[in-house]
Amino acid sequence: MKNSRKSILQHVKRVVVKIGSGVLTKKDGLNLGLINALSEDICYLMEKRGLEIILVSSGAIASGLKKMGLSQRPQSISQQQALAAVGQSSLMLAYEQVFRSHGRKVAQILVTRDDLTNRKRYLNTRNTLFTLLNWKVIPIINENDTVVVDEIKFGDNDNLSAMIANLTSAHLVINLTTIDGLFDDDPRLNSNAHLISLVEKVTSKIEKKASSIPGALGKGGMGSKVKAAKDVAICGIPTIISNGLKKNIMRKIFQGEEEGTLFLPQPTPMRSRKHWIAFTKSPKGRIMVDRGAEDALIKNGKSLLPSGILAVYGKFNLGNSVMIINREEKSLAVGLVNYHSTDVEKIMGQKSSSIEKILGYKHYDEVVHKDNLVLMNNL
Ligand code: GLU
């Protein structure tokens, strides 16, 4: 186990470090002492090990709460958005100051799921990040809470950090939270709970266990951290979930100490574009297929043709992501669709050769091409 940690860390250069709200804030606002200590470690590792660090930082809403003298997160979305706006500037000011004192520059990047769903903006974000890394500037990323509402949100910064790790082809994600890692029970309630130091594969049992361990200040809880670790493992990227409140935690991790929980990457990683299809885009509708199409997709790796489609649910447009389900409503695959939902309804059950006659035009023979399809059993 020690060896696997050490050998993983040996090859790490680009690291996404996600820092949770609970780590960054204390009773009276931002925890400046901790932010300073963490930045010192980060600068040390950049210098000594040549690491490239990308921070995904929560803490805007939590810091806004303290700034406005509120004791708990308000229910209303618009108030949370306003708090994020109030807190984000203090958060960046704190980072700017501490990193400057260590001779480093930072840059603020605020993104939404909508931005990364759009392939062009996704690639633009990637180019900007790579330029910043080239300049040795530390990008500090947060969700642009001010402009998003629930259905278009990443939901939590654990998910956002997984997207960023995939987008930047990072070698490791370090998720810093307020507990030591993944436990077999909630350590705050059960003193006999054990830390799980290695997860080879995130099974549904592990996911279920984790989702019963809630977070405190932020939104995620352990469930969303484990889900994010699973998402990046699929891309071949390992994750370490660890306690950001521990002294010199970043240095300890890079010394190969058994800190936190290490999630191993999957041996055959999914290509970045397929990962983007599977995880960045949220499905706009569902297409039900017959047994023949199910076999063609799953057993033979084929595209989805109109002939195998039984029903269409929801409204979607060309290029949107759709979930493909069988008659038992089991999710089979997610893919990018080539036709509008109303057109799929017209051509379903028909041969590809009659698409033009029915619609008066034909973009493609396939409703979803196999290159744009990710099977659920690969997830
Ligand atoms: N974006 C939110 C903030 O900065 C936090 C979301 C999260 O912690 O998952 O306050």
DSSP 9-45: HHT--EEEEEE-HHHHEETTEE-HHHHHHHHHHHHHH
pTM: 0.81
Chain-centroid distance, C-alpha 194: 26
pLDDT at position 1: 47
pLDDT at position 232: 93
- From ligand 1's centre to the CA of 156, what distance in Å? 6
* Nearest residue to 263 (alpha-carbon basis) of 155, 140, 165: 165
pLDDT at position 329: 94
Q: Which atom of ligand 1 is nearest to the CA of 160?
A: 9
Compute the distance between CA of residue 361 and CA of residue 248 in angstroms, rounded to an integer.
62
| CA dist list (Å): 215 to 42, 88, 107 | 25, 21, 28
Neighbour count for residue 93 (Cβ, 10 Å): 11
Give 2-271's CATH code, choosing from 3.10.20.90, 3.60.20.30, 3.50.50.60, 3.40.1160.10.
3.40.1160.10
pLDDT at position 187: 84
Domain positions in the chain are 2-271, 283-378
Q: Which atom of ligand 1 is nearest to the CA of 64?
A: 10
- From ligand 1's centre to the CA of 233, what distance in Å? 22
- From ligand 1's centre to the CA of 143, what distance in Å? 7
What CATH number should be reported for the domain whose range is 283-378? 2.30.130.10
pLDDT at position 216: 59
pLDDT at position 355: 95
Pocket test for ligand 1, best of 145, 150, 158 (most atoms within 8 A of CB): 145
- From ligand 1's centre to the CA of 219, what distance in Å? 7
| Ligand 1 site, CB within 6 A | 20-21, 58-62, 84, 142-143, 145, 156-157, 218-220
Burial class (CB in 10 A: 0-12, 13-18, 19+), 50: exposed
pLDDT at position 51: 97
pLDDT at position 154: 79
User: Tens place of pLDDT for every residue, the chain, 379 residues?
Assistant: 445 888 899 989 999 999 999 999 988 889 999 999 999 999 999 999 999 999 999 999 989 998 999 988 888 889 999 999 999 999 999 999 999 999 999 999 999 988 888 888 998 999 999 999 999 999 999 999 988 877 667 778 999 999 999 999 999 999 999 999 999 888 888 889 899 999 999 998 898 888 877 665 555 689 999 999 999 999 899 999 999 999 999 999 999 999 999 999 988 777 778 888 887 778 999 999 999 999 999 999 999 999 999 999 999 998 899 999 999 999 999 999 999 999 999 999 999 999 999 999 988 899 999 988 999 876 6
Residue nearest to atom 5 of ligand 1 (CA): 58
